[in-house]
Structure 1
Amino acid sequence: MNEIKEKIEHLRQELNEHNYNYYVLNAPVISDREFDRMMEELQQLEKEYPQYSDPNSPTQRVGNDINKAFTQVKHKYPMLSLGNTYTIDEVASFYDRVRSGLNEDFRIVGELKYDGTSISLTYRHGKLLRAVTRGDGVQGDDVTENVKTIRSIPLQLRGTGYPDEFEIRGEILMPWTVFEQLNAEREREEETLFANPRNAASGTLKLQNSAIVASRNLDAYLYYLLGEDLPSDDHYENLQIARSWGFKISDAMQVCHSLEEMKAFIDYWDVNRKNLPVATDGIVFKVASLRQQKNLGYTAKSPRWAMAYKFQAEQALTRLNSVSYQVGRTGTVTPVANLDPVQLSGTVVKRASLHNDDIIQSLDLHIGDMVFVEKGGEIIPKITGVDFDARGLLIGEKVTFIKQCPECGTPLVRYEGEAAHYCPNEMGCPPQIKGRIEHYISRRAMDIDGLGPETIDLFYRLGMVRTVADLYSLNESEIASLERLGEKSARNIIEAVDRSLQVPFERVLFALGIRFVGETVAKKLANSFVSIEALESATLDDLVGVDEIGPRIAQSVRAYFENEQNRNLIKRLEEAGVQMRISEDRLSGFTDKLDGATIVISGTFTHHSRDEYKQMIEQHGGKNTGSVSAKTTYLLAGENMGPAKLEKARKLGIKIISEEDFLQIIQ
């Protein structure tokens, strides 16, 4: 048995070392295949011998799909924000304040200000103990399980000499390449795009499914060490030592001995940050000596020994060559500016969204114009203006919005009160047809693995799939005969299609792609009408009577079912075995015990997760909301609940109930 334990510990040590080589040093020494083989071997051993489990094993980096509410944890050292400056004069004023405050020699450490989400990591006995978000600076959310999936953060420290317990702070980041892939996927699904990597990283870190967090390949840079027994009084030296423990510390750190060196540091990175793999929005300057930091102290909101210099939003001038138009799955036509390539915020920009006709007209765009393109912290480039001084006699024609669909030639429509133009030919426009199929198979809808945009396009061109119902008539041998697929891919596709027959009704309703019916609306409609037949028969008044369903959604649902092709599609899906009603098991649990009640959930719970309580509220006729108001009926209070919600509920006289009280109400 000791041999097994030694084998497990050896594999963990090897995998930790290879993680460090790959994600911190960017210098792998083995192939991905060999790494995966070792990981599979360790996973199998840990499964067979659970007595040797370790929460900091490399196998924990893959995450799991268990939903968990986050517990709030008070910071040992408050996480204060930094004072921002935008000019060199303000940097000089900071330098002068430090000099007069210390009245002795000092050094300044210049660092890049990474544009992500702040994190505090606590290590005890060389192992990751806890990861907490900044929160309100006094307390934050415990996101340890999600942080374990970030491979550049060590679970077990390397080397020796680290304090028995200490804290290290840094920034969780989403690299540009990962961010662009994520937004491209969301764009295909016609979901709201993340505005910048910071929002994407923050949103990912707060997901309650760590397996999804793991799939998004977050990164981390660490920049400040706190504790009682740190190796040095010097901030810069501490971080260099922390690097040897396995932490990813930026190479873009510099010790500055004068204001001139600080200015040179700013000038250098204002240009060279464009080539970095992650987003930055400025520079942080800190007094190097921890003793001097302590002597300078703090204001109410920020340390006197540190400041942030913010870069100006990055802008470039380039030529507008043409405007093309893209058609989404709901028929939305989006104009796209095609530009001379230009370097902007770490990526080469060739295209920028023009959003709609109103934007085009406000810019007075002409083909050949020199245009200002801005990204700043934004990944989605936008044209912010035209250099009219550069407009010559040979300027091209004025940009005007097209009148017909670029894909099928159908005249476009613009509905009253909306900025977008639409192609109304939803049943005959290829991008809309393929877009609906891609939406149907997506993970949050029917979750049919093995099919992507390229495969859907191939099936469409060959006439194998023209509606989502055709997926259930696919032939394994026919798929296997296609180029780049083969028997294994064909089998996986057919099995995934078969599994989709078990997807519950509310996700099927979302998968149908009815305009304005997202996940939340689909769930409300499914719970209210129970079956597709009842929903199809619902009048406008019936639909508007459902909580949070307004006239626009109601009209869209009615229009969908009034279309004969849609009704035929649903009939084919029903015949294939797709779930078109809520199961009897779930129906048996439906009551009206919370009818008319609006409930806010806060804190963590013993008997069920927050998501389960949300489902119970809906199942018993209640409504779940995120914030306390005069309309709130109950505040369902768990452990570590937000103090602001509790105080507001008490002020408004809202009844506060425990989970035992809640379970008693619905029994």
Structure 2
Amino acid sequence: MDSQRALERIRFLRNELNRHNYLYYVKAQPEISDYDYDQLLRELIDLEKQFPEFDDPNSPSRRVGSDISQEFVQVRHKYPMLSLANAYSYSELTDFDNRIRKALPEPFQYVCELKFDGVAIGLTYKNGRLVQAVTRGDGTMGDDVTVNVRTIRTIPLELHGADFPEEFEIRGEIFMPRNVFEEINREREDIGETPFANPRNAAAGTLKLLNSAEVARRKLDCTLYFLLGENLPADNHYENMLKAKEWGFKVSDHMTLCKNLTEVQHFIEHWDKARKKLPFDTDGVVIKINSYRQQNLLGLTAKTPRWAVAFKYKPERVSTALLSVDFQVGRTGAVTPVANLKPVKLAGTTVKRASLHNADQIQLLDIRVGDWVFVEKGGEIIPKIVGVDQSKRSLFSKPIDFPGACPECGTTLVRPEGEARHFCPNQYGCPPQIKGRIEHFISRKALNIDGLGEETVALLFDNNLIRDAADLYSLTREQLLALDRFADKSADNAIMSIEKSKSVPFPRVLFGIGIRYVGETTAKKLAQHFGSIDAIATATVEQLVEVEDVGDRIALSIIEFFSDERNRMLIDKLKAAGVQMAVSSADTSLLSDRLKGMSIVISGTFSRVSRDELKELIARHGGKNVSSISASTSLLVAGENMGPAKLEKATKLGIKIIDEEEFFRIIEG
């Protein structure tokens, strides 16, 4: 291909990929399958490598991020990035409204928007192309995070149409959806890393990473809410945001015009309940004067605009007594302090325990046994201690001492440099670590061995029947029947499930082995790249870091794992048992295209297969797994005990709902 034809093809691919990004991430109306999209992206990346003279920082290929580290430079905001004044009650909101009416003796409208709990960002566009992304910083100066922001697929790199100003800035909030946050935290805990405290902290930390490939992997989202510049399309906020949506920006569908304070209060009251069903965190409502002319008349204070206010929802908080603190040891050796609380009702559930995360958190809260503590639910889900009622503290209370030795095996704890948590280094002799690794091995996302669980693993370990995961394959029916928890049927089921696990694909086996820092996604990429456990075991650091998402830390952890003779013996025992230790062609090939182009949500529990196996079947038959229902969802596969909210939304949108049996009829033709 000559350079002219290459340039034409590159331009075509960039336009197509930008269009498909918009359809998928903003409109939720995809036209092509993930596979077809990936093929177009791969072709573009190959052409850009072959013809580097056509490099473009706004190319869709940059969405995948780069491994090049860089320090952030500070940039002065063209327009100060002010904060908003807060209101916590309707009386404060009435005061705000009275000030507006006193300063504006003429009719006006409010615009109400949800207040996103994320990281503020300012995006500058010139001639329809993203040129810079800057964080709030101190309001005057912020960090240039353009390289990382280019990986966020809801932020357009090039705009649609041609009726946008030559240069303008649009501001919004970068946030992490709850399902992504929960998935990342599960993976961080699985691989021995400290989980994020909340989605906002996760988004803020992600945006400041020096590896934009990791930023891309964390699936940040962005909603835009404010337009700045000369020659804007309209003289009011509401119309300009609707126009921004036409240009390709993700603007909240919940933005509403209100004629008076009563309508504003109705908006606030509605979303106080409805926000709990949103896929992201929102902590309030922003109320703005719609007209730009009236905004200018009202003006600014040194810190906040006079024409806007943020009404903050009060998180439900309760006070209860801290009875004791346990120090739990996980499979990676991480020691986690857990607060045992006097049971208390919070947001519809009874809370008895809350994680204290690490020694730093205990010190920061200055929490002591016997204290009365304030508990909230982070993201309406996770109980967390947010403070101490000092007025109720005993004069004789003492600070909690974080143990210097492992509470399970007595080994001196270590705190690696740069880590927030303490670890027990006795990984092969500390009982909860050994049992934890076996529990991880049999878990649903790994070998998925039914009939065994945490209590059964403890029973088998305590009776000296297993000392590692490979020992499971030597268990006999007679050994199980000799234990209290097993009868004929349960013993048969356990043995059958252990046997069945020998056919589990290699990527899940690699994840189940439990190499530190190797999560589910990384295990898949390592398996696809190297093909077998032997190839991974003998790979050098240089070869390992060639794999997407594998950096020096993961590579060194893999090297350390396979350099230990006990781990090599474990692998040999698993091989001898017949566990899959290499990728087979059947693992990667499509079984059919019967679900091609379909976006499919699954909900509930299933009798024939596990949820993970069902997701795998969807992918192997050409379908795409999605976690939430939208207008673009093709099917909802409904199992037992499915969530009523998903069923209600699917019914409302007219989404086809099928059961497990109908799903199998479809894929079996």
Q: The TM-score by the shorter chain falls in which range?
A: 0.5 to 0.7
The residue type equivalent to 1:66 in the other structure is I
Would you say the 8 A contact 1:176–1:277 is kept in 2? yes
- Per the alignment, do residues 372 and 507 of structure 1 end up closer, same or farther by CA in structure 2, a change over 3 Å counting? closer
Quick check: 1:454 aligned with 2:446?
A: yes
Would you say the 8 A contact 2:123–2:134 is kept in 1? yes
In the TM superposition, residue 348 of structure 1 has moved relative to its aligned partner by: 13
- Residue 104 of structure 1 is matched in structure 2 by 106
Q: Distance in 2 between matches of 1:310 and 1:42?
A: 45
Q: Match of 1:499, SS?
A: coil
Aligned equivalent of 1:168, options 148, 151, 170: 170
In the TM superposition, residue 453 of structure 1 has moved relative to its aligned partner by: 7.8
Q: Match of 1:152, SS?
A: coil
- Residue 534 of structure 2 is matched in structure 1 by 494
In the TM superposition, residue 438 of structure 1 has moved relative to its aligned partner by: 12
Q: Distance in 2 between matches of 1:186 and 1:215?
A: 13
- Residue 71 of structure 2 is matched in structure 1 by 69
Would you say the 8 A contact 1:127–1:157 is kept in 2? yes
**Percent identity of the aligned residues?**
50
1:403-449 deviations in Å (ceiling 9; x for gaps): xxxxx98799999xxxx99999753345414778999xxxxxxxxxx
- Per the alignment, do residues 489 and 172 of structure 1 end up closer, same or farther by CA in structure 2, a change over 3 Å counting? closer
Aligned equivalent of 2:35, options 29, 33, 36: 33
Q: Distance in 2 between matches of 1:512 and 1:30?
A: 37
Q: Distance in 1 between matches of 2:541 and 2:358?
A: 39
Quick check: 1:432 aligned with 2:453?
A: no
1:201-257 deviations in Å (ceiling 9; x for gaps): 111111111111111100000000000010001101100010000000001111110
Would you say the 8 A contact 2:275–2:282 is kept in 1? yes
Quick check: 1:233 aligned with 2:254?
A: no
In the TM superposition, residue 263 of structure 1 has moved relative to its aligned partner by: 0.8
Quick check: 1:20 aligned with 2:22?
A: yes
Would you say the 8 A contact 2:298–2:307 is kept in 1? yes
The two structures, once aligned, show a CA RMSD in angstroms of: 4.9
Would you say the 8 A contact 2:347–2:380 is kept in 1? no
In the TM superposition, residue 378 of structure 1 has moved relative to its aligned partner by: 7.9
- Per the alignment, do residues 438 and 186 of structure 1 end up closer, same or farther by CA in structure 2, a change over 3 Å counting? farther
- Residue 595 of structure 2 is matched in structure 1 by none
Would you say the 8 A contact 1:327–1:334 is kept in 2? no
TM-score by length of 1: 0.60
1:366-395 deviations in Å (ceiling 9; x for gaps): xxxxx996225586423789xxxxxxxxxx
Q: Distance in 2 between matches of 1:242 and 1:421?
A: 48
In the TM superposition, residue 355 of structure 1 has moved relative to its aligned partner by: 6.7
Would you say the 8 A contact 1:438–1:452 is kept in 2? no
- Residue 525 of structure 1 is matched in structure 2 by none
The residue type equivalent to 1:12 in the other structure is R
1:330-369 deviations in Å (ceiling 9; x for gaps): 26365588999x9969x999985377999896489xxxxx
Would you say the 8 A contact 1:197–1:379 is kept in 2? no
Structure 2 gaps of 5+ residues are 388-406, 415-420, 450-465, 474-500, 508-526, 546-551, 569-669
Q: Match of 1:375, SS?
A: strand
- Residue 193 of structure 1 is matched in structure 2 by 195
The residue type equivalent to 1:184 in the other structure is R
Q: Distance in 2 between matches of 1:149 and 1:36?
A: 15
Aligned equivalent of 2:60, options 58, 61, 75: 58
The residue type equivalent to 1:483 in the other structure is V
- Per the alignment, do residues 35 and 413 of structure 1 end up closer, same or farther by CA in structure 2, a change over 3 Å counting? same
- Residue 45 of structure 1 is matched in structure 2 by 47
In the TM superposition, what are the counterparts of 1:482-631 in structure 2 within 5 Å?
Answer: 482-485=503-506, 491-500=531-540, 511=557
- Per the alignment, do residues 20 and 331 of structure 1 end up closer, same or farther by CA in structure 2, a change over 3 Å counting? closer
Q: Distance in 2 between matches of 1:273 and 1:95?
A: 24
Number of residues of Structure 1 aligned to a counterpart in Structure 2: 465
Would you say the 8 A contact 2:181–2:202 is kept in 1? yes
Quick check: 1:243 aligned with 2:283?
A: no
Q: Distance in 2 between matches of 1:331 and 1:244?
A: 49
Quick check: 1:90 aligned with 2:92?
A: yes
Q: Match of 1:192, SS?
A: coil
In the TM superposition, residue 50 of structure 1 has moved relative to its aligned partner by: 2.1
- Residue 335 of structure 2 is matched in structure 1 by 332
- Per the alignment, do residues 492 and 295 of structure 1 end up closer, same or farther by CA in structure 2, a change over 3 Å counting? farther
- Per the alignment, do residues 218 and 421 of structure 1 end up closer, same or farther by CA in structure 2, a change over 3 Å counting? closer
Q: Distance in 1 between matches of 2:209 and 2:160?
A: 29
In the TM superposition, residue 13 of structure 1 has moved relative to its aligned partner by: 1.2
- Residue 212 of structure 2 is matched in structure 1 by 210
TM-score by length of 2: 0.59
Q: Match of 1:381, SS?
A: strand
Q: Distance in 2 between matches of 1:254 and 1:121?
A: 23
Structure 1 gaps of 5+ residues are 365-370, 386-407, 440-450, 466-479, 515-565, 574-667
Q: Distance in 2 between matches of 1:431 and 1:498?
A: 30
Q: Match of 2:538, SS?
A: helix
In the TM superposition, residue 97 of structure 1 has moved relative to its aligned partner by: 0.6
In the TM superposition, residue 181 of structure 1 has moved relative to its aligned partner by: 1.7
- Residue 148 of structure 2 is matched in structure 1 by 146
